Structure 1
Amino acid sequence: MDYVTQIIDPPPSRTRLLLDGVRALRKPKLDGAPPLPGERLVRAAVELSPGGIAAYGRACGFRPEQGVPLSYPHVLAFPLHLMLLTRPSFPYPASGMVHLANRIRQHQRLQAGQALRLEVFCERWVAHPKGQALSIATRAYSAGTLVWESDSLYLRRDVKNPVGEPWNDVLALQEEGVLRTQRWVLPVDLGRRFAKVSGDFNPIHTSVIGARLFGFRRAIAHGMWTLGRALAAQQPPGGLDQAEAHCDFKLPIFLPGQVALWNRPVTGPRREFEVRNFAGDKPHMRGLLLWNEKPAKRAWNE
């Protein structure tokens, strides 16, 4: 697909993103298959600032000796995600889009102070059993070289006859040997605190009233906070060169709350894990972390 590149400079303000989200609450009903939005949004030079890295690290539990968190570039690109989802060319209201999964691949070590060119675009439609899903791609370049990338899968529920490649829930975790390794006690204001770091002020995360408007009894934790917290518990010290993180989001985590990290026994530079309720019988997120291995391209349904 040929994309129309748009340079976003300066980045949109929080107020602008909020207003665009409100305007996008209503979209005309579609006839036939949805068109794939054709914009590629670009920020030409985004710094991996020491202050931003430190704030994100504090929010998710990363330690300075772990280097740049594997998931950190996602928060730098999130405003571009939101811009795409609230554009007139996007066929569904942004509100109500469900973040289903994330795949992250880092190809080179990232350093504080490094400048990244961020490119975000809608890559493909995915046919999901519960509706129409869409993959949003993020690509980060340094000096013209691809150094980091991610694919984020979003779902619009209750869309009949979804188009695109079929979705398969690819990550599996064998129960044998799985152990509870950490307990996390989550405060009521976790969503508001992470929103200040990530820029994701979706009311389902920051307000009980806002959450109830969208069918949740209480505010729920950000999925990307859950992933970040899980990676912080497992990312090795000294920073990462090549690495991958895959996660599928399951049940929401209500705030305040208590959850636990469950792991399979360690196998070299490989971590298989789930974030579950403390009893271990309800999954919130399933994940896989690999490092010091050359990342291979993987399709969603591999």
Structure 2
Amino acid sequence: MDYVTQIIDPPPSRTRLLLDGLRALRKPALDGAPVLPRQRLVRSAVELSTAGIAAYGRACGFRREQGVPLSYPHVLAFPLHLMLLTHPSFPYPASGMVHLANRIRQHQRLHEGQALRLEVYAERWVAHAKGQALSIATRAYSGGALVWESDSLYLRRDVHDPVGEPWDDALALQDEDLLRTQRWALPADLGRRFARVSGDFNPIHTSVLGARLFGFRRAIAHGMWTLGRALAAQQPPGGVDQAQAHCDFKLPILLPAQVALWSHPVTGPRREFEVRNLAGDQPHMRGLFIWNESFQ
């Protein structure tokens, strides 16, 4: 597909993103198959700032000796995701799009103060059993080399006859041997706290009223906060060079909540894990984290 590159410097303000989101609440009914947006949104030099990393670390539980969190570049690119989803050419309303999965791969160690060129574009449609899914690609370059990348899967429910290849990348883990290793108490205002760091002010995360408008009894935790918190519990001190993290989001976490990290006993630089309720019978996220010598 031929993309049209748009340089987004300076980044959009929160007010601009909010207004674009409001304008995108309604879209005309589709006549035929959906068409991918052609925009490739680019920020030419985004700094991995010490202050930004520290704020993200406080929100998710990372310690400075763990280096740049593997999931941190996603929050830098997220405003570009919103710009794509709220663009007039995107065929569905942005509200109600569900974040189903994320795949992250880091190719080189990231450093505080480093500048990244971020590129975000709609990569492909995916046919999902629950509707029409879309994969949004994020690519981060430094010195002309690809250093970090992610693919985020978003779902529009109840779309009949979805286009694209069927979704076949769900994580299959040996979950019967997982043990509860940590317990987390999540406050009612967690969504608002993480929104200030991530820029994701979706009302389902930040207010009870907003959540109820979309069918939730209470505000729900961000999926990317859940991934960040799980990685913070497992990313080794000293940081990582090459690494990958895969996660599938399951049941929403209604705030406030008590949840737990369930994982296999430590067996080197590979972790299979789930975030579940305390009883262990309701999965909120399933994940795989691999780093350094076991990375392929």
AA aligned to 2:236 is: P
Aligned-residue RMSD, C-alpha: 0.9
Looking at structure 2, the residues matched to 176 and 247 of structure 1 have their Cα atoms a distance apart, in angstroms, of: 18
C-alpha deviation, 1:56, in angstroms: 0.1
Report how many residues are paired: 296
Alignment of 1:53-68 (within 5 A): 53-68=53-68
1:85 and 2:89 correspond: no
Q: Which residue of 2 aligns with 1:16?
A: 16
Looking at structure 1, the residues matched to 213 and 27 of structure 2 have their Cα atoms a distance apart, in angstroms, of: 18
Looking at structure 1, the residues matched to 183 and 6 of structure 2 have their Cα atoms a distance apart, in angstroms, of: 44
Looking at structure 2, the residues matched to 272 and 244 of structure 1 have their Cα atoms a distance apart, in angstroms, of: 12
Looking at structure 2, the residues matched to 150 and 178 of structure 1 have their Cα atoms a distance apart, in angstroms, of: 26
AA aligned to 2:235 is: Q
C-alpha deviation, 1:64, in angstroms: 0.5
C-alpha deviation, 1:295, in angstroms: 5.1
- Structure 1 gaps of 5+ residues are 297-302
Are the aligned partners of 1:106 and 1:295 in contact in 2 as well (CA < 8 Å)?
no
So what's the TM-score if we normalise by structure 2?
A: 0.99
- CA distance change for structure 1 residues 169 and 144 in 2, over 3 Å: closer, same or farther? closer
SS at structure 1 position matched to 2:177: coil
Q: Which residue of 1 aligns with 2:51?
A: 51
Q: Structure 1 segments of 4 or more deviating over 6 A?
A: none
AA aligned to 1:249 is: F
Looking at structure 2, the residues matched to 134 and 295 of structure 1 have their Cα atoms a distance apart, in angstroms, of: 27
Alignment of 1:173-188 (within 5 A): 173-188=173-188
Q: Which residue of 2 aligns with 1:286?
A: 286
C-alpha deviation, 1:294, in angstroms: 7.3
Looking at structure 1, the residues matched to 65 and 134 of structure 2 have their Cα atoms a distance apart, in angstroms, of: 36
Looking at structure 1, the residues matched to 170 and 200 of structure 2 have their Cα atoms a distance apart, in angstroms, of: 27
So what's the TM-score if we normalise by structure 1?
A: 0.97
Q: Which residue of 2 aligns with 1:161?
A: 161
Are the aligned partners of 2:245 and 2:289 in contact in 1 as well (CA < 8 Å)?
yes
SS at structure 2 position matched to 1:194: helix
C-alpha deviation, 1:51, in angstroms: 0.1
Alignment of 1:1-302 (within 5 A): 1-168=1-168, 170-293=170-293, 296=296
SS at structure 2 position matched to 1:82: helix
Looking at structure 2, the residues matched to 272 and 33 of structure 1 have their Cα atoms a distance apart, in angstroms, of: 37
Are the aligned partners of 2:269 and 2:294 in contact in 1 as well (CA < 8 Å)?
no
Are the aligned partners of 2:270 and 2:294 in contact in 1 as well (CA < 8 Å)?
no
- Structure 2 gaps of 5+ residues are none
Looking at structure 2, the residues matched to 172 and 35 of structure 1 have their Cα atoms a distance apart, in angstroms, of: 31
